[in-house]
Amino acid sequence: MALRTLDSLGSLAGKRVIVRVDFNVPLKDGVITDDGRVRAALPTIDRLIGQGARVIACSHLGRPDGAPDAKYSLAPVAQRLSELLGKPVAFAGDTVGESAHEVAASLGDGDVAVIENLRFNAGETAKDAAERRAFAEQLAELGDVLVSDGFGVVHRKQASVFDLAELLPSAAGFLIEKEVDVLDRLTENPERPYTVVLGGSKVSDKLGVIEHLLPRADKILVGGGMLFTFLAALGHRVGKSLLESDQLETVRGYIATAKERGVELVLPVDAVMASGFAADADHVVADADALEGTAFGAAGMGLDIGPRSAEIFAEAIRTSRTVFWNGPMGVFEMPAFAAGTRTVAQALTEVDGLSVVGGGDSAAAVRQLGFADDAFGHISTGGGASLEFLEGKKLPGLEVLGWQ
């Protein structure tokens, strides 16, 4: 069954439309440091405004543990949304209380409001289905229709994502529609050559996606902290680099499966070894089979792929027609260890085909390193959700919208 989209809801003029967005943005001292998720919601909100709908945006932010916490307030997000839309955005100081009802009742056609952090209510994330449903019923009183557009939470069975979509006429917004279309293209008949680039700290975080994409990809490039578990599986010593010893046998299995299937598994040939985990740590480049051969010896710690590896990865990416990348190549937050991630990101901007940045740390990295969003085919807004989609898992927030 196909995903229900905005067109399935008919005319929304004059209707109160609850839009479940993902405004879970990074904040520092109350200031948004990356507004990418707010901007990603604009096409859907703009369409609803244009139709004369009365828009009530709701989201979570951080993990406030089911009770109000000022540092997780959505007030700065409402202000940023107002700036991006170029019009006032009302803000309710609670989620389903007096303020939320007053704000919802005051909206005129084409007006927009944001209600306070959904996770200030324990019912949003409750494991108990009855508690979750009760909160969803309170949310449903605020609106006539639900537009679900927070892709970053569709893998969670939460009140505003799942239960509310059962209680109100519901459909996917443009963001979810685009995410599903792009990710579906990565799993069903991708244009070839198809290269998957995986990084980040842990192999264990990527087990499902490696397993699911191994039969589908032509090349899998492995960087980030997880590369050291792969190197150790091949018998190399990795010093104090991140190592998941309990995954060595699993990784050896992946290496064997890739060989059997004719998938090219590309591992780094060099890495940047540092004297410790610090931005100003001494560091040198070492060959992958001699990581402990530096002046740091067994105390050395790998914090980035090396320059030769970065160029090998970049060439594989540039010559592909479809590329999916999830996970930085090193500790990109520290300038000395950002080169590998920057080289991979640059190569993705040069792909003649579909290039997809898989959300989470990867999306944060490309923005922090100065790349524009439109330099890539698509930047996913959901790290965990995009990985679970690519693992072939059922996502409750999509199934409730008709996706199978």
Residue pLDDT, tens place only, 373-397: 899 999 988 878 888 898 888 999 9
Report residue 76 as tokens.
């700065």
When pLDDT is averaged across residues 329-349 and rounded to a whole number, the result is 97
259 belongs to an annotated ligand binding site: no
Catalytic residue, from 15, 37, 54, 342: name it: 37
Higher confidence at residue 334 or residue 1?
A: 334
- The catalytically annotated residue of 36, 110, 276, 384 is 384
* 290, two tokens: 């001699």
| pLDDT at residue 188, rounded to an integer | 87
Residue 133 marked in a binding site: no
CA neighbor of 92 nearest in space, from 118, 124, 71, 64: 118
Was 80 annotated as part of a binding site?
no
Catalytic residue among 199, 327, 340, 360: 360
- For residues 209-223, average pLDDT: 92
Query: Mean pLDDT over all residues of the chain?
Result: 95
pLDDT at position 76, please? 97
Residue 39 annotated as binding? Answer: no
Q: Is the pLDDT of residue 1 over 70?
A: no
Contact (CB, 8 A) for 196 and 213: yes
Tokens of 61: 């932010």
Is residue 60 part of an annotated ligand binding site? yes
pTM, to two decimals: 0.88
Q: Is 359 annotated as a binding residue?
A: yes
Q: How confident is the model at residue 203 (pLDDT cuts 50, 70, 90)?
A: confident
- Whether residue 37 is annotated as binding a ligand: the answer is yes
- Residue 110 in contact with residue 53, Cβ under 8 Å? yes
Q: Is the pLDDT of residue 207 over 90?
A: no
- Are 198 and 217 spatial neighbours (Cβ–Cβ below 8 Å)? no
Give tens-digit pLDDT for 222-257: 999 999 999 999 999 999 999 999 999 999 999 999
Spatial CA neighbour of 255 closest among 286, 302, 222, 225: 222
pLDDT tens per residue across span 350-367: 999 999 998 778 888 999
Known catalytic residue at 37: yes
Integer CA distances (angstroms), 329 to 110, 326, 379, in order: 44, 9, 17
Instruction: Please give the domain boundaries of the chain with CATH numbers for all domains.
Output: 6-174 (3.40.50.1260), 183-391 (3.40.50.1260)
Q: Is 333 annotated as a binding residue?
A: yes
Provide, rounded to the nearest whole percent, the portion of the chain with pLDDT above 90: 86
Which residue in the list 39, 47, 178, 202 is annotated as catalytic?
202
- pLDDT (tens digit per residue) in 183-198: 999 988 899 999 999 9
**Each residue of 9-53: pLDDT tens digit?**
999 999 999 999 999 999 988 899 889 899 999 999 999 999 999
Q: Is 360 a catalytic residue?
A: yes
Per the model's pLDDT, the better-predicted residue between 116 and 373 turns out to be 116
Interval 150-171 mean pLDDT = 97
E strands in 199-314: 219-222, 264-266, 270-274, 283-287, 301-305
DSSP assigned state of 354? E
Q: Cα separation of 272 and 224, whole Å? A: 11
Annotation says 202 is catalytic = yes
**Rounded mean pLDDT of 116-123?**
98
59 annotated as belonging to a binding site for a ligand? no
Q: How far apart are CA 285 and CA 281, in angstroms?
A: 13
